[in-house]
A = this chain, B = another copy of it.
Amino acid sequence: MYAAGDVRIENRPDPKIQSSTDAVVRVVLSCVCGSDLWPYKSMPAVDAGRPMGHEFLGVVEETGSDVSGVAAGDLVVAPFTYCDNTCDYCVRGLHISCRNGGRYGFDGVDGGQGEAVRVPQADGTLVKLPVTADSALLPSLLTLSDVMGTGHHGAVTAGVGRGDSVLVIGDGAVGLCAVIAAKRLGAEQIILMGRHSGRTDLGRAFGATDVVAERGEEGTARVRDITGGNGVAKVIEAVGTRQTLETALAAVDDGGTISRLGVPQYEDGPVGPSMIMRNITLTGGASPARVYIGQLLPDVLDGTITPGRVFDQTFTLDQTPAAYRAMTDRHVLKALITP
C-alpha cells in the first residue's frame, strides 16, 4: 500500500532466513482484514510501499537453525502478530505485547498478502495444522489467524458464559465471529446489530437470536425492548467508531461490561460520570490469537464452528486491489486471497 486507495502488486525480494529463529512460509491462503481498510481509507502517501496482510496460512519452506517446532513441509497458520510465546507477557496471554514480537509489514517483515513470508520467532508463532493443503477446512482455519480469535477475545473478556444475554455491535467478520464465540461459550440470547441483511443472516446462522438493523437511539431502544428494558450485561463492540462505543454505552445494563475489538478510530471517548455512576466496565483489546488457536482448533476440525463462512469471495493475489475496493464498498464481507 502506497497511500489511501493505492494498493499495488509488486515483486519483492524472496524472503530469506535472517535469524536462527525465523521460518519462511509459502502462503497458501491469505485475506484482507477490516483493519486493513482503515489505512486504505486514510494512509498518507509513502515512498516505499507498506507490505500488507497479517492473516495467512501456508507451508513451511525453510527454518532457521534454532527452530524445532515446525519443519519444512508443515502446513501452518500464523496469528496476526508474531511472538515468542515464552516471555512474561505471552505467558500472561498478552501475545500482542510480546517482548520479541511484532507486526507483519513492519520492520523488514513481509506482509501476508504475498507469495511468501519470513516469520520471525517461528517456534512461538506458527501452529502446525493437522490437515493437508487441499482441505476444505482451510478458510475456517485461516480465521484463527485473526477474526475468529478476535471475536473469541471479545466474548472471553466480556465474561460471556452459559445462559447470558450478549449484544454484538457490528456485522463485519469480527462481529460475526463474536456471535460464534458467544454461542460457543453458552450465551442464550445473542443480539446482533447490523444493517446488511446478507451479513446478519449469516449471523443468525452462526447463532444470533435477534437482529437489530436500527442504529443510534433507535437501535438501543430496540435492544432495550428485546431485553425487557434494562439493556444487556455484556456487549461486544466490533466496529471501532465513537458512535458504536456510544451505542454500546447506551445499550449496556448498569454493572455491565463492554468489550471493544478492533482499533478505535477515535482518541477520546465518552467515559465520564455516567459510566462511573452506572458501574460500567470497558475492556477487550487486541486478541492473543496465538493462544486461542489451540483452544479453537478442535472445534474447527470437527465442524462445531464454521467461521470460514465469513469469506464470501475469492481473489487471486493479482486481484488484491480489487478485493480492497470490494470490501470498502461493502460488496464483499471478507475477501480470501489465493497466491
Contact = CB atoms under 8 A, between A and B. Distances in A.
A254 B94 contact: yes
B282 A94 contact: no
7 contacts: A94-B279, A96-B254, A97-B279, A262-B276, A268-B272, A279-B284, A282-B282
Given A92-B255, A254-B89, A255-B97, A271 B276 contact: no
B270 A267 contact: yes
A162 interface: no
Contacts of A279: 94, 96-97, 284-286
Interface string A262-276: 111011111111011
Contacts of A96: 254, 277, 279
A132 interface: no
Contacts of A254: 89, 94, 96-97
Interface residues of A, number: 33
A243 interface: no
Contact of A281 (B267, B272, B283): B283
A141 to B, nearest CB: 25
A331 interface: no
Q: How many chain copies does the complex carry?
A: 2
A260 interface: yes
Interface of A: 89, 92-94, 96-97, 157, 254-255, 260, 262-264, 266-273, 275-286
Top 7 nearest A-B pairs by Cβ distance? A279-B285, A267-B272, A97-B254, A268-B268, A281-B283, A269-B271, A282-B282
A283 B94 CA distance: 19
B271 A275 contact: no
A52 to B, nearest CB: 18
Contact of A276 (B94, B260, B281): B260
